[in-house]
Amino acid sequence: MHRRRQRHPPVTAVLVALIAAAAFATSSVVQQSAAAAIPERSEGGPALLARLVRSPLWIAGIIADLIAYALQIVALHLGQLSLVQPIMALGIVAAIPISTSIRHERVVQAEGLATASMAAGIGMFLVIADPRPGPAVVPADRWVLGILLVLLPAALVALVAGRSGPRWRRSVALVLSTGLLYGLVAAMTKGLADEFARHGAAATLQTWYPYALAVVGAVALQTGQHAFQLAPLAASLPILASSEPTVAVALGLIVFHERLALGPVRLAAIGVALLLMVASVVSLAPSGSRGQGDPVC
């Protein structure tokens, strides 16, 4: 029988995840602004990244991204995927008010209400589902299953994005692929953090975690920058804010065998919480398109 993980006080993981979410929100806004300024003739591929690395604005966004990622590693070590990643989704939603503030526009009441509703929905989910840790050791076969369940659909969606077609279809496909990959990145990050805590840096470098994480993370970064170039933040927000935490929570259950408190009443309440979160994200999208140019669809 596998030893179960020690359960840390969830308040610490929640606080760290909230700070990481704020940093990720800032990073997303800055990176999207830099990518949107690149002409479409540099669309996708190494040419896009080659131009972005010469942008001080984009470099600032990457620095904020690295800080957020370091905080996410700490939060994932302290808490479960099904606890941390829904909180990280709040940072994606908060990107819209942050973007509005950077453009020196007035934050409308709907944006504040939608963000508050998203926070309430996440709070309801975490309280009702009550995520609990699984075994401390994750067998390799569960990792193989989890990785295949993410990479196969992500690759298929990316193929759709690579084909000629309407701009809106390519942008939607890219954002969805980005969300799938970042959900997998979150799961791998938790595996890396747990391995480091148990065995130290030297032993962790001898595992597959850092190398697979580097590859998947690089692909997710490239895909995400291409998506940011094609679509304004408001257009990509609903898909990214829903797909990334959904994949992460699913991998928490499949790979790490995390446990949720499920029953007929709790499932109904979780459904209400999820609907509240989705409605909040969708309601933010139209307001976020102010000042960002023509919609992609």
One-letter identity of residue 73: I
What pLDDT sits at residue 144?
95
Report domain extents, the chain.
Answer: 10-288
Region 198-215 average pLDDT: 94
Count of Cβ atoms closer than 10 Å to residue 99 Cβ: 25
Question: Both tokens of residue 72?
Answer: 């996410």
Whether the pLDDT of residue 289 is over 50: the answer is no
CA–CA dist 107, 23 (Å, integer): 19
Tens of pLDDT, residue by residue over 218-251, are: 999 888 877 777 766 666 666 777 788 889 989 9
One-letter identity of residue 208: W
What pLDDT sits at residue 1?
45
CA–CA dist 270, 130 (Å, integer): 11
Residue with the bigger pLDDT between 208 and 281: it is 208
Residue with the bigger pLDDT between 204 and 271: it is 204
CA–CA dist 65, 31 (Å, integer): 9
> Is the distance from CB of 206 to CB of 146 less than 8 angstroms?
no
> Is the distance from CB of 21 to CB of 91 less than 8 angstroms?
yes
Cα angle: 34, vertex 38, 39; to 5 degrees: 160
Q: Exposed/middle/buried for 74, CB within 10 Å: 0-12, 13-18, 19+? A: middle
CA–CA dist 87, 131 (Å, integer): 13
The model's confidence at residue 46, banded by pLDDT at 50, 70 and 90, is low
Tens of pLDDT, residue by residue over 132-183, are: 888 878 899 999 999 999 999 999 988 876 666 677 677 778 888 998 999 9
The model's confidence at residue 126, banded by pLDDT at 50, 70 and 90, is confident
Tens of pLDDT, residue by residue over 56-88, are: 888 888 898 899 999 999 999 888 888 898 888
Average pLDDT over all residues of the chain = 79
* Conformational region of residue 104, where left means phi above 0, alpha means psi within -120 to 50, and beta covers everything else: left
